[in-house]
Amino acid sequence: MTPSRRRKTLRLLDARFQLKWTAYLVVTVLLVMVGLGIVIGRSAGRTADTASLAVKEAERAYAESRANSKLARQSVMLAAPDNPTLMASMDESLAEVDAKAERELAEVKGRQEAISRERRTTQLLLVGAGLLLVLVLALMGIFITQRIVGPVHKMKRLLRKVSTGRLAIDERLRRGDELEDLFDTFLQMTYSLRALQSARLATLDETMKRAAELNVDREIVDGLRALRAQMVLGIAPRTKSIHPKAN
């Protein structure tokens, strides 16, 4: 794997921190969605109950219409058994009443079925949207925390480097990372320490020059030179090692 590909690989820099805050974000949104789902479910349930009640009323009205039609036919047959014209007219009228009641019942049942389908569709949409939102929020949480944890992780590593006396910092934050002001303050601190170290080096060089003029003991001069080498190493820019290519 090349270095460029290794840098592009998503790796949790602080898994405990990132997963904790991502979980907080996901759980909060899930609670909101569950509450919203309960409200929508109750509203849909009341609508379905109203539709069921309307179907029952329509069925009762249809049954009463059929019963009334039957009683009306029996009454006409008893009152005028020898009048076929009246019977035909009565049958036609009662058939129209029954057909109207049947159409109303079918219409109410159709509305109930439509409400049930819409309720199931809404539930499926809520579940699907919830799962998709959880996935998106999880990815966003990791991405956002990565932009915060990345600079903190880098600063911890650079602070350990500074604590060993290495003041030459040539690293920068990635584009889009947060905590830029804090990292700039850290860089300003390293610049100030390097300037202070350079001033100490100038003082040490002057001391070594005076020591050479005064013929100070060689061991002392060698110690000063070793100290100078260590101080120069701390402020010297980092050089990249060149590795020969493998044949």
pLDDT tens digits, residue range 31-45?
888 888 888 878 877
Residue 61 parent element (H or E): helix 15-79
Task: Check residue 215 and give its pLDDT.
Answer: 80
Confidence of residue 76 (pLDDT cuts 50, 70, 90): low
Tokens of 109: 């049942």
Task: Check residue 231 and give its pLDDT.
Answer: 80
The structure's pTM equals 0.50
Confidence of residue 137 (pLDDT cuts 50, 70, 90): confident
| Mean of per-residue pLDDT scores for the chain | 77
Token pair 């009306």 is found at: 72
Token pair 């979980």 is found at: 23
Q: Taking 80 as the threshold, does the pLDDT of residue 237 lie above it?
A: no
Using CA atoms, how far residue 132 sits from 28, 30, 127, 135, 137, in Å, is 15, 11, 9, 5, 9
What b/e string do you get for 49-60 counting C-beta neighbours within 10 Å, with b at 16 or more? eebeebbeebee
Using CA atoms, how far residue 222 sits from 23, 88, 165, in Å, is 59, 134, 20
Q: Taking 70 as the threshold, does the pLDDT of residue 29 lie above it?
A: yes
Q: Taking 80 as the threshold, does the pLDDT of residue 58 lie above it?
A: no
CA neighbours within 13 Å on the CB side: how many for 225?
Answer: 9
